Amino acid sequence: MKKNDTAAVKITDIGVNGEGIGKVDGYTLFIKDAVIGDTVEAKVMKAKKNYGYARLMKVLSPSPDRVTPRCEFARKCGGCQIQEMSYGRQLAFKEQKVRGNLERIGGFSKELLDRVMEPVLGMEEPFGYRNKAQFPFGTDKQGNPVTGFYAGRTHDIIPNTDCALGAPVNREILETILGFMKKYQIPSYDEKTGNGLIRHVLIRCGSATGEIMVCLVVNGEEIPHADALIDRLAEMPGMTSITLSPNTRRTNVIMGDSFKVLWGQGYITDYIGNIKYQISPLSFYQVNPVQTEKLYSLAMEYADLKGGETVWDLYCGIGTISLFLAQKAGKVYGVEIIPQAIDDARKNAEINGIENAEFFVGKAEEVLPRWYRENEGAEAGLRGEGSRTRADVIVVDPPRKGCDEALLDTIVKMQPEKVVYVSCDPATLARDLKVLCGKGYELEKVRAVDMFPMTVHVETVVLMSRKDK
């Protein structure tokens, strides 16, 4: 096919960015806004040798799983790629996405996956789940400040203060800030010129505590007439922390490197299960508290701790999984590259009275191999309770790129009885599992967890065990 050709296309799959995928005489087309089961009329906008990108012109025959989106901006906004697909079909798609990657990239057989895969964990209410959102600010054609979300693959802001995935309080906060900016002529930041002041606003909500944080990210050091804004925000029920984060760099990075408190305190608190966490504007904390508790409980179930185990938690963030595991482990070691996150992890251990968790700053792929080398010579071959190179369980929760080869090699050398792998990318998960299974481990359990309804993203928890245990 070539550019501007039109064709009727049956959609059979969803791509990594949420596009519908279909074929015309063997030629693959990626079609935004089409869902699995649709037959659509599409116009080719960009044609490559074996595939192309097309625009949805008309839905000729809607999928039985096509639904009316709750948000009027669902098609334009880059945040919800599959809101027009029924939630049940979303869950089936995500489970199949994990399975497909394990088969294609990992080389695992259908028979094995039929045995080890457990049903996907979904949500009863898949809207309003986000406890954190970062809203960019801009200016409309009439010169008024606006905020919302970027349109897909652009930095064009779609004005919307009432995201269907966010906390209801977001709307009141954002409209208060917009009203303040208009009244006092406070300009939004302009990415093209580098001028203007208000860049982003970060809002966090403690789902268990009701505490609210507002962090204003600004192209400067202060906000004129800030007291007027603070007075309005501070009146809102639950408001706990109002902060400012300077970011004067010409960059797409949202947050500055630091923040200062304008009112209240520099953090909010929240609970996952019975573990209390302090969360600052710069802290990493899962955005879906309902599913986070399910995710961590599943990791705990797979680890099956009895009380005396040594556990390593790699890519530990602010210690969320580490502290969960420490409730039942003998000793937990956490590793994270971000110093601020490790400071938060240590503080969180302290406020929960947890004394059997120790945290290291650094890259997991450097810290664990170095720690193993330094202790291996002194205690070569030791596998008893006194061995410092011993690990009963290793938990990894890496970024999308997955685990470094040196880290996987060290995991194999340390010979933990179990590896619990928490993944946000099924492709790199499959790649890493293939390596571990080629070096003495086998799949025991796999379960997808829907942390991000209405999007194509999915988390997966995997249990692996050593074959010779």
CB atoms within 10 A of CB 108: 21
Backbone region of residue 311 per phi and psi (left: phi > 0; alpha: psi in -120 to 50; beta: other values): beta
Q: Is the separation of the CB atoms in 398 and 316 below 8 Å?
A: no
- Contact by Cβ (8 Å): 334, 345: yes
Distance CA 469, CA 466 (A): 5
Could you give the CA distance from residue 126 to residue 87 in angstroms, rounded to a whole number? 8
315 is an annotated ligand-binding site residue: yes
Count of positions (residues) in the chain: 469
Question: Is 184 flagged in the annotation as binding?
Answer: no
Full DSSP string of 345-394: HHHHHHHTT--SEEEEES-HHHHHHHHHHHHHTTTTT--STT-TT--SEE
Query: Looking at beta carbons, which pairs linking 193-200 to residues 24 or more positions away fall under 8 Å?
Result: 194/219, 194/250, 195/219, 196/139, 197/223, 198/137, 198/145, 198/223, 199/136, 199/137, 199/247, 199/254, 200/134, 200/135, 200/136, 200/137, 200/254, 200/255
80 classed as catalytic: no
Catalytic residue (one of 80, 403, 424, 437): 424
Amino acid in position 172:
E
Give how far the C-alpha of residue 446 lies from the chain's centroid of Cα atoms, to the nearest Å: 19
Q: Are 212 and 203 in contact (CB under 8 A)?
A: yes
Q: Concatenated DSSP letters for 198-249? A: EEEEEEEE-TTT--EEEEEEESSS--TTHHHHHHHHHTSTTEEEEEEEE--S
Annotated binding site for S-adenosyl-L-methionine: 286, 315, 336, 397
Residues with a known catalytic role:
424
**Residues in the annotated binding site:** 286, 315, 336, 397
